[in-house]
Structure 1
């Protein structure tokens, strides 16, 4: 199995980006509690229209039930990740002017937030690709893509509101796919399951090393004790997936919200950069 990580120096250079791309709710104006719409379901206890504050949003932009979201019927909130877009929009794009204190900023701020989230998610993936030793042939292009993406995050509000992220995302995604191929090329006959409907499938103890699981639907799948090292899981839907005992130590592009949406335990092996969800039993 090839070594997935870049040399220590290169990996250390990405740590600053990782920190910036983690949500800091205390520095945000509750944008994820206002901008998205949600419907009463297993994920949310009530209906909420887009651009309308959640009934649990407090005056200081905190959540009134933050420590009881699952118990109160809002597990969907626990698996949402803005990749730090909320604090960037709040403190950088709008220089600390909140939508309550400065109502004239509200519509633009609510429009900019989803755009910024796309850019920050893309930054996260590019930054992770730069830690892959095997992806060195595309590191220069990835670095340029990271710099361009960061430049876009610093645009003025009106420019961000009108920005079509799609073309840039597709261009960078081609680089991410190439980085993934380079990282997985040492794995013998990896499974090709991109975009596959794997809902509820039994993958207990399955050898999924180097599998292409991009965009796969793993909802409720049984992945107990599965080997997912070097599996590319970009966009994989892991809601309710059973990851108990699974090895995800070197899974490619695994994000925190994918873990938060799944079930695991003390036997689930995770990358050192991610956190074991609090609702998983030890």
Structure 2
């Protein structure tokens, strides 16, 4: 999950806010936490089983990945689409002030417990910050701003408190406002919008589908054929786009879409993307 010494997320720093710059993964400033703290299960995404807290066999002494250039061909596709939203460098250089788990083995267990918690908080900050940039969501901007500040403050908790934080409770609070944001944004479009929230669309034939302004929150779109589909202003938060075919699809203005979701999909040079996201190198 770590790169050789560079960020894998792919987002364009020139097109994101100052807050979101802090949410772009910088693997060169991280202790390879995703490669140690998280468990892997042997699957199409990971070539090996690995328990939480044990370093991946490909992790080098400098915390880079020994097979970074060949992850996809060697069965580690899951590593190429993972994004910690900047939690790795925050924990490594901020919370633990640059002292790694190798230098202080006693800190490892706490560091590894705190990492997935911090990663979830950073993800929430990312969505809240994006919502604040949506003009249609102006009626809830004050509430979004207050919740953003609150969530950012949680990321600075002492590590013992961070590791025990009730993240689902915070996520539930954030989700209320993100749902309201979605309703406000999609209401700007004329006509009836399709509601496919949480829908099982695995392998669905949606070539050329009219999904402008659709609610696709948490939809399972694994290997779906969305070639040429109109996904403008669609809510794609949490949608599973693994191997979804997006060739020629229009995602202009689609919101709550992350770079890692795009990295998991299959598009081409004709796929139109939202501002701030970039075309994955493997497309």
Q: TM-score, normalised by structure 1?
A: 0.94
Once residues 223 and 91 of structure 2 are traced to their aligned partners in structure 1, the CA distance between those partners, rounded to angstroms, is 35
User: Which of 174, 177, 181 lines up with 2:179 in the alignment?
Assistant: 177
C-alpha change, 1:245 and 1:13, in structure 2 (3 Å) is: closer
Once residues 150 and 97 of structure 2 are traced to their aligned partners in structure 1, the CA distance between those partners, rounded to angstroms, is 22
Structure 1 moving runs of 4+ over 6 Å: none
User: Which of 196, 206, 209 lines up with 1:193 in the alignment?
Assistant: 196
C-alpha change, 1:118 and 1:62, in structure 2 (3 Å) is: same
Once residues 44 and 16 of structure 2 are traced to their aligned partners in structure 1, the CA distance between those partners, rounded to angstroms, is 37
2:234 match: 231
User: Which of 111, 131, 134 lines up with 1:132 in the alignment?
Assistant: 134
Equivalenced residue count is: 269
User: Which of 248, 254, 259 lines up with 2:257 in the alignment?
Assistant: 254
1:46 match: 48
Retained in 2: the 8 A contact 1:223–1:244?
yes
Answering whether residue 222 of structure 2 is matched by residue 212 of structure 1, we say no
Retained in 2: the 8 A contact 1:213–1:233?
yes
2:224 match: 221
- The runs of 5 or more residues in structure 2 that have no matched partner are 1-13
Question: In the TM superposition, what whole-angstrom CA distance separates every residue of 1:51-106 from its partner, at most 9, and x where no partner exists?
Answer: 11000000000000111110111101001010000000101111111000011110
Once residues 275 and 34 of structure 1 are traced to their aligned partners in structure 2, the CA distance between those partners, rounded to angstroms, is 28
C-alpha change, 1:269 and 1:13, in structure 2 (3 Å) is: closer
What are the within-5 Å matches in structure 2 for residues 10-49 of structure 1? Answer: 15-49=17-51
1:272 Cα deviation (Å)?
Answer: 2.3
Once residues 137 and 272 of structure 1 are traced to their aligned partners in structure 2, the CA distance between those partners, rounded to angstroms, is 23
Answering whether residue 108 of structure 2 is matched by residue 102 of structure 1, we say no
- The runs of 5 or more residues in structure 1 that have no matched partner are 1-11
1:3 match: none
Once residues 257 and 142 of structure 2 are traced to their aligned partners in structure 1, the CA distance between those partners, rounded to angstroms, is 22
C-alpha change, 1:13 and 1:241, in structure 2 (3 Å) is: closer
RMSD: 1.2
Question: In the TM superposition, what whole-angstrom CA distance separates every residue of 1:89-143 from its partner, at most 9, and x where no partner exists?
Answer: 1011111110000111101000000000010000000000011010000011101
1:267 match: 270
Retained in 1: the 8 A contact 2:227–2:248?
yes
